[in-house]
Amino acid sequence: MTSNADPERELLRHTIATLAYRGGKVLRGATADFSTFRMNDQTRTPVEILAHIGDLLEWGLSLAKGKQVWNNAKPQTWDREMERFFVTLKQFDSYLASGDPVACAPQSLFQGPIADALTHVGQIAMLRRIAGIPIRGENYFQADILSGKIGADQSAPRFEFD
């Protein structure tokens, strides 16, 4: 972060990078079979949750641009929704990095779409455990998470739990 950078904007960018890291971890190794796993008829499938995360990120970007738009997208295939996840993260991060004005309070962006997306990543992690394909726990404090590192090619975990 440069001395001229807005610390709130930089914290949002780091939070989005954290979402990319944690989301990347729960998506790696999850198969198309897992994407349709359903605990019961009252719950969303992982692909439905992932599509909702994409909707949240697109909404967050629209809020940042001052043109609130909500799209309730129909879930696509698991691979396409994973691609959409990283593409929308990149678009959101690029806007925050651009210096273009953010049309709403950064706190509102965090408490709304970003925090909601983090919650849903946790739901996918929980569903993986229930489906018998858990991810390993990790000390995320030690994770190599960097603002701007948004793609599927996240750093390897530094300290996972057994």
Say if residue 85's pLDDT is above 70.
yes
Confidence band, pLDDT 50/70/90 cuts, at residue 31: confident
pTM over cut 0.75: yes
Instruction: Report the pLDDT value the prediction gives residue 4, as an integer from 0 to 100.
Output: 61
Give, in order, the Cα–Cα distances in Å from 106 to each of 11, 13, 82, 113, 124: 9, 11, 26, 11, 26
Average pLDDT over residues 11-27: 97
Domains and CATH numbers, the chain: 7-142 (1.20.120.450)
Length of the chain: 162
